[in-house]
Amino acid sequence: MRLELQKITKQFPGVLANDRISISVDKGQVLGLLGENGAGKTTLMNILSGLYRPDSGKILIDGKERIFRDPAQAIDAGIGMVHQHFMLVPVFDVTESVVLGNEPTKGPLGSFDRATARAQVVELSKKHGLHVDPDAKIESLPVGVRQRVEILKALYRKSDILVLDEPSAVLTPQETEELFEIIRGLARGGTSVIFITHKLNEVIAVADKITVLRRGAVAGETTPKKATAAKLAEMMVGREVQLTVSRSKSKVAEPILQVKGLNVLNDAGGLAVNNATFEVRSGEILAVAGVQGNGQTELVEALTGLRLVDSGTVVLEKKPLHAGSPREIAMAGVAHIPEDRNRDGMVKGMTIAENYILNTYHLPQYSKSGLLNRKAIAAATEQAVKDFDIRTPSISTDIASLSGGNQQKVIVAREFSRNVRLVIAAQPTRGLDVGSIEYIHRRIVEQRDAGAAVLIVSTELDEVLALGDRVAVMYEGRIVGILDAKEATRERVGLLMGGITK
Amino acid sequence: MRKKKPVAAARAKTTTAAPAKRSTSVGDGADAQQQLIASRVRAGLFALFTLLSLAITSGSVGVEGKFAFWVDKVGGTDVAFSVPVVLLWAAVTVGFGAMAALQLVRGASFRWRLAIGLVSPVLVFALLARLLDGTTANLTVFFTSTLLYTVPVGIGALAGIIAERSGFLNIAVEGKLLFGAMIGSIASSITGIAIAGPIAGAIFGALVSLFLAWLGIRYKVDQIIAGTVINIGALGVTTFAYLRILQPYSEFNRPIGITPIQIPFLSDIPVIGPILFSLSPYFYIAVGLVLFFTYMIYRTRWGLRLRAAGEQPNAAGTVGIDVVKLRYRAMLVAGLLAGFAGSYIALSGTGGFGVNTSAGKGFIALAAVIFGAWNPVYAFGAALIFGMTSAATTLLSGLGVSLPPQILLSMPYIVTIIVVAGLIGRVRAPASAGRPYDQG
């Protein structure tokens, strides 16, 4: 089926999320929908799936206008969604998950006809080469398989148009390649696919046609043959972008952070970090790669004092830190850019100045006998706003009103305002626009060049490969390999991310 | 109950590097480890009980436990028998000992709920016999009052389960019981028709339930707060109505009672007939409802969607299930059930409605929901155990045995707290119970 969206507009309070967006996809075609976070991709998708209704504009399927009042109508029209956050019930099994909403029944009470449902799921997965165990519980399945269940859900509903929202975010490169194979197979079979992503290489690899969104509007259309990554990035951002971080060779000196046999438990009491041993030296960036949820969060929390260390040692320049409080660790020269800036990085509702001194307010230059020295704080913050190019009306603005990129700059400015020996940056560019990403990367590299040790944790392989002088890979809590930048190819790191060490 | 993985549990226990070929995910291991801890705590508790009952056994030598049954009908000829209390306690000791051993050996795969279900009746008898200390107790009365106490608690628990399986926390069961009791009594008194009571009670319960659902779904009022407000409000309103209307105009509070029925043939069975087959029709309806809804929840499309909405409403919403409508309907059913259960209290007890006549049965019902792990049959079983403690209290105080009744009456709550704390075994609530559903 051919799907066409004509001049879709959706206004939210204060934001024009979709501004006359027109896109189309033909039968058997793969459309890559490219855009940064906040470009309006998700809103457009929610309109297409019947969750939102557009303020104006039309949805045409095979030339006929359709109006979706709720998700059921979109499904009936043949649109199948694979959401970024999977829409699966953890305690259900695969069969139940696939047929939920269109269950085969028998008898007067509407008894669930499990046998028929199971047979349908088995047949469907065979037909499309999507291998899953129909009786497995969802919660016991790895993410890659859960995604296959999501695709099966769409196919079970006879979707002719399959929409995938950031489908590779939780996959290893190999799993992503498998997903591409599945997408190509479906397209050959006549399914139209809309592939939503912010990763340039992926659209080039899998799409037949590329539409780029920027700030809620279509910024351009092209094909993978004509496009290059640089051109696409330019369309996405609206100006020329440096995709690779320019940096000199690292001048590695003595080890600054030494971690030995570190074990850390997760909230449920399970082993999240399993016997981690590594060191980070002055003047180098150690990038930790891994699919989300393999212990990286717990590792960072343990190193920064936010989580108790179960056993093992953490030493910063001969000073043991594994029993230190967050403040002791910060004062020892550790800068922490947290993974979730909304939760751990700032206090919304407080001003930029207050956020700037969040972990140094107790120092004599900012407070005396419990009273804050407002003048000194204001002066320091003004300087930081200038130095870090933080776009804000004033330093007494609520930090919540800044853009994500500027919020992150406040955090980076704060963390780099102390004497920095070690930088721990977890997902430092998540959800930021390309411009801010460039800026944050440059600042981190500057710290390295000034002689600090840098530990970056990222699930974006591109970021890891661009920044890491060495690359460590975490899988199920263990560090399964540490590679030099030369050896760290996409393939090798990808295999390690999947736990394959040979 | 959760999937058990004793092997994974053992692996996760080792804190050093545990190279596992087919390693489970981090979360899984933690889960298994927690289950292992819980099963050890259970084993320890059972061992403790074994020692306790052993001590009581040795102190019970020579005491006779005297029991009696009515053979043909309630209040008819009785047959008495006596058992040495030592024997009962010896059985309890053996039972607990076996549970402790099995729990330790089999770990998380041991079906401890079932074991508790098997040992508790013996334990109650042993306790009774020990406390009675030679006085004769009529067991027919004990059993029937156990079963009857189970009616409002069991149906109330069912109301809780259906609501919470859909994702709505039903704290207000107690309030609905009270309203159901009062409205049931009034309707029956005015119309002079017995059946009008339960019907009116159920309808009013449904209205209260829909009001609660409206607050929680439409306005996203915190479901615990809204439920608590309804409970407090129900007590206030019904007390006021009782004092101002039902007391001065007592013709509104003289319902046609719903009397026990004799099931043909079955009620003639000696001993069992008077206990099981001469009860209030409410009891048979309650059993029927529990079986019916167990089937509905686990075996039908309705149940599949209900559970999906309570676990992961977005998963249901994105495949076109109208989660909001589904929750309203679940709350409607829950209200009908709770109001119906409430009418029982006024119509088959002492006759009519009284101040706070539900006396916390709605809260015990919520305890049964948790103890029964959101499964109607288990919850009914829990209600039976709670009913037994209540019947035992009544029996003992009737026979003049001095024992602070609060001790036995507080048992359900203590057990619930232990269960909720996850110490003796984890129960998993529907993941989204209590969370408002936000589309998109």
| DSSP secondary structure of A316-352 | ETTEE-TT--HHHHHHTTEEEE-S-IIIII--TTSBH
Question: How far is the alpha carbon of A248 from chain B, nearest alpha carbon, in Å?
Answer: 38
For position B72, what pLDDT does the model report? 74
Q: Which residue has the higher pLDDT, A331 or B428?
A: A331
Whether B31 and chain A come into contact, CB under 8 Å, resolves to yes
The answer to whether the CB of B343 falls within 8 A of the CB of B181 is yes
Q: Is the pLDDT of residue A430 over 90?
A: no
CATH of domain B139-420: 1.10.3470
- CA closest to A49 among chain B residues: B318
Lowest mean pLDDT, pick from B66-70, B156-160, B291-295: B66-70
pLDDT tens by residue, A306-324: 999 999 999 999 899 888 8
pLDDT at A431: 76
Q: Which CATH number fits domain A3-237: 3.30.70.890, 1.20.1090.10, 3.40.50.300, 1.10.760.10?
A: 3.40.50.300
Q: Is A49 on the interface with B (CB under 8 A)?
A: yes
pLDDT on residue B411: 67
Tell me the chain A residues in contact with residue B301 when contact means C-beta distances shorter than 8 Å. 103, 105, 110-112
Nearest-Cα distance to chain B for A88, in Å, is 5
Q: Phi, psi (5° rounding) for residue A460?
A: -90, 110
Is B12's Cβ below 8 Å from some Cβ in A?
yes
Encoded tokens for B281: 């029709």
Q: How far is B320 from chain A (nearest CA, A)?
A: 4
Q: Where are the alpha helices (DSSP H) in B60-111?
A: 85-106
Q: At what angle do helices B323-347 and B139-165 cross, to 10 degrees?
A: 160
| CB within 8 Å of chain B, chain A residues 115-144 | 137, 140, 142
Q: Is A477's CB within 8 Å of B319's CB?
A: no
Query: How many residues comprise chain A?
Result: 502
Q: Which helix (H) or strand (E) segment is A394 a member of?
A: none
Q: Do B29 and A90 touch (CB under 8 A)?
A: no
pLDDT the model gives residue B405: 63
B382 Cβ neighbours under 8 A, 6+ residues apart: B157, B367, B368, B371, B372
The ranges assigned to domains in chain B are: 6-15+28-134, 139-420
Element of type H or E holding B19: none
Indicate which of A112, A298, A475 best probes the interface with B, i.e. most B CBs within 10 Å of its own CB. Answer: A112
Distance CA B47, CA B52 (A): 9
Lowest-pLDDT range of A152-166, A372-386, B387-401: B387-401
Tokens encoding B78:
């009785």
Question: Closest Cα partner for B168 from B408, B382, B374?
Answer: B374
pLDDT at B155 over 90: yes
Q: Which residue has the tokens 């016999």?
A: B129
Which pLDDT value is given to residue A140?
85
B260 touches chain A (CB under 8 A): no
Min mean pLDDT across A202-206, A443-447, B266-270, B416-420 is at: B416-420
Query: How many CA atoms are closer than 13 Å to the CA of A183, on its beta-carbon side?
Result: 28
Would you say residue A301 has pLDDT above 60?
Answer: yes
Write the CB contacts of A460 (distance below 8 Å, at least 6 apart in sequence): A429
pLDDT at B29 over 60: no
Q: How many whole angstroms from its chain centre is CA A493? A: 18
pLDDT for the residue numbered B237: 96
Look up the CATH superfamily of A255-333+418-497. Answer: P-loop containing nucleotide triphosphate hydrolases (3.40.50.300)
Lowest model confidence (mean pLDDT) among A415-419, A452-456, B385-389: B385-389
Residue-averaged pLDDT of chain B: 84
- CB-CB neighbors (< 8 A) of A311 in chain B: 15
Task: Give the residue range(s) of CATH 3.40.50.300 domains in chain A.
Answer: 3-237, 255-333+418-497
**Mean pLDDT across B76-102:** 88
Percent of residues, chain B, with pLDDT higher than 90: 42
Proportion of chain A above pLDDT 90, given as a percent: 61
Measured between CA atoms, the residue of chain B closest to residue A44 is B440
Q: Which of A228-242, A436-450, B120-134, B193-207 has the highest mean pLDDT?
A: B193-207
Helix (H, G, I), strand (E, B) or coil at B210: helix
In chain B, residues with a C-beta closer than 8 Å to the C-beta of A295 are 26
